[in-house]
Chain A
Amino acid sequence: MADIGGPRIAEIKGPSASGGAITPGSIVEIKAAIRHPMESGLRKDKDTGEVVPAHYIEKVEALYLDKPVMRATWTGAMSKNPYFRFNIKATKSGKVKITWTDNKGGSWSQEAEIKVQ
């Protein structure tokens, strides 16, 4: 149970065409990850032969300037320690907040700043 959490917005990357510079209207790439077992509830423990209970992230939400830019519903078929990449259209400098919530009520958030030139 220890190896869970540590939400990360690992990268905020501007368009390579502009050398990574973010200007109003730029499509910005966001990479995010969290440590989580993502147990589907379908796997049996090798030693005990018992089904490992389902424990997975089921909701992910990304806000930019307090408005949703991405919302996801996941199942236990997302890989362990799930990573994902998506985009945001930058309009002005401001906060990106990503929240992960699992099926047992665990919730983790991470914030980062998009800096628009």
Chain B
Amino acid sequence: MHRTKSKQWSRRDFFLATGAVGLGAVAVAALPRMAEAADISAVIAEHVGPGTPAMEKVIVDVPEKAESGALVRLPIKVEHPMEPGNYVESITIFVEDNPKPLVGKFEFFPETGAADMEVRIKMAKASNVHVVAKTNSGKLFGVVKKIDVAEGGCAG
């Protein structure tokens, strides 16, 4: 009798324990990812404004792996007119996993002629690089590139 009860309890304990552990594992696994995703979206919104960028028109043609995080070449092209009343007014660059994700913001004018530029940036480690273009009418376009680095640069 006592033994049966003990067995029932242990089964129940086992069920509860695995259930709790299972949920715990899901929560632990999911939280950091959600936190990161929320963080970078918030940082982008802070510097570019609200809205979700359409993942088109912005081209960043880079190799998947950079030799040094201290100097990562980043050519950026936005396939969009640059004419009065219809132009790309800014391009903003973020490295998601740098201690400070914002790298820089470039403001353009119709007189810029083409939203086609290049910079060299630092990456502390492999990361997603987000480039967001904003038009004068407030439309957002973007691209996310995963860039691996052989050797991390000295932090953003």
Asked if B111 and A40 make an inter-chain contact with CB atoms under 8 angstroms apart, the answer reads: no
How many A-B contacts are there with CB distance less than 8 Å?
107
**Contact mask for chain A residues 79-96; partner B; CB cutoff 8 A; 1 contact, 0 none:** 110111111111100000
- Contacts A68-B109, A83-B119, A89-B111; is A40 near B102 (CB within 8 Å)? no
B59 within 8 Å of A (CB atoms): no
Which of the four size classes fits the interface of chain A?
A: 20 to 34
Asked if A87 and B116 make an inter-chain contact with CB atoms under 8 angstroms apart, the answer reads: yes
- Which segment, of B12-20, B92-100, B142-150, faces chain A? B92-100
A17 to B112: give the CA distance in the assembly, Å. Answer: 19
Asked if A87 and B112 make an inter-chain contact with CB atoms under 8 angstroms apart, the answer reads: yes
**Contact mask for chain A residues 27-51; partner B; CB cutoff 8 A; 1 contact, 0 none:** 1100000000010101100000000
Asked if A43 and B119 make an inter-chain contact with CB atoms under 8 angstroms apart, the answer reads: no
- Please, which residue of chain B has its CB at the minimum distance from the CB of A58? B104
A73 to B121: give the CA distance in the assembly, Å. Answer: 14
Which residue from B102, B113, B117 sits with its C-beta under 8 Å from A27?
Answer: B113
Asked if B104 and A86 make an inter-chain contact with CB atoms under 8 angstroms apart, the answer reads: no
- Please, which residue of chain B has its CB at the minimum distance from the CB of A38? B122
Asked if B111 and A75 make an inter-chain contact with CB atoms under 8 angstroms apart, the answer reads: no
A117 to B32: give the CA distance in the assembly, Å. Answer: 58
13 further A-B contacts with Cβ under 8 Å, apart from A79-B122, A87-B114, are A67-B109, A69-B108, A73-B104, A74-B103, A77-B95, A79-B121, A79-B153, A80-B70, A82-B119, A86-B116, A87-B112, A88-B113, A90-B113
Q: Which residues of B contact A (CB under 8 A)?
A: 70-72, 75, 82, 95, 98-100, 102-122, 153-156
Q: Which residues of A contact B (CB under 8 A)?
A: 27-28, 38, 40, 42-43, 64, 67-80, 82-91
Top 9 A-B pairs ranked by shortest CB distance? Answer: A89-B113, A77-B156, A79-B120, A42-B155, A85-B118, A77-B103, A43-B154, A27-B113, A74-B104
